[in-house]
Amino acid sequence: MFVITGATGRVGSAAANALLDAGAPVRVLVRSAEAAEGWRNRGADAVRVDLRDRRSLTEALQGSAGLFALLPFDPTADDIHAHTQALVASIAWAVRASRVPHVAMLSSGGADLASGTGPIASLYALEQALTQTGAILSAIRSGHFQEKVGDLVGVARVEGVYPVFADSAEVATPMVATSDVGRVAARALLSPPPISEAIDVIGPEYTERDVAGVLGELLGRRLEVVTLPRADWVPALVQAGLPAAAAELLAELHDADQHGLLAPRGDRTERGATGLRPTIARLVGVAG
């Protein structure tokens, strides 16, 4: 049996569905009765668990052959650092206590660095904690998600603007679909490595102007690409509704990206084949 956290999210659901399609037994950990029922209808076992409850999490992991783990980022937490520290401690404690032999963890490029990467620093902490549990770790270090454009659909649709948190919109960057990342995680669980490893998962390369072009075409309007100066990043994120602490962390993340800190540096690389257009088409609800 494989246990999947984050099964209501894009990567977790893709991993769970890939495992079910392969005929593997799956237990998903969810927060709501509605989500649990949906997964039971799909053929999975479903357990309602709060990842901060280390004892119930340990119980849910008992007897599993592998765990797909992720670290939720909650921008509304009163103390984001304390919140993520508690999650890291709980997940690692439960993995150790339940003696899960293998963990496939959703990580990120840049998670080999302890600081200077915004919220990715918490993924570094989780990678380090999991390596101390006795489990073999497959750190699935994703590149940019194609689905990140979903955060900009509203402003693009209403205002005709595509904001870019960088000095240039012309830098080509690998962007991977979350479904491809989930399938990599499922393969890692089905065929665990003999020793811990970090797997960089990247997709086709696009510039932010490319992304704006596809999004504008699917929305039926031309978008103005606007590069925001560094001084405007935090105010823009706060204006968009983020608390100041979360905005500062995300600004640090964009800084790290611009300076190449999120580049792939894992043990090996897997490439997703899904193109950007079908991903954006799903996000805006039109035929691709």
- What are the tens digits of pLDDT across the range 194-226? 999 999 999 999 999 999 999 999 999 999 999
Domain count, the chain: 1
Looking at residue 288, its pLDDT comes to 60
**101: Cβ–Cβ under 8 A, 6 or more apart, which residues?**
65, 66, 135, 136, 192
Going by pLDDT thresholds of 50, 70 and 90, the confidence category of residue 115 is very high
State phi, psi for 164 to the nearest 5 degrees.
Answer: -125, 125
Average pLDDT rounded to a whole number, residues 132-160: 95
Q: Are the C-beta atoms of residues 144 and 175 closer than 8 Å to each other?
A: yes
Query: Confidence band (pLDDT; 50, 70, 90) for 287?
Result: low
C-alpha 55/C-alpha 18 separation (Å) is 28
DSSP string, 211-238: HHHHHHHHHTSPPEEEEPPGGGHHHHHH
pLDDT higher than threshold 90 for residue 57: yes
| Phi/psi-derived region of residue 31, left when phi > 0, alpha when psi is between -120 and 50, beta in every other case | alpha
Closest CA to 226 of 132, 274, 146, 161: 161
pLDDT value at position 286?
Answer: 74
Domain holding 50: CATH number?
A: 3.40.50.720
Tell me the average pLDDT across 148-153.
Answer: 93
Label residue 191 by pLDDT band (50, 70, 90): very high
Whether residue 131 is predicted with pLDDT greater than 90 in this model: the reply is yes
Residue ranges making up the domain that contains 273: 2-284
Does 250 have pLDDT greater than 90? Answer: yes
pTM: 0.94
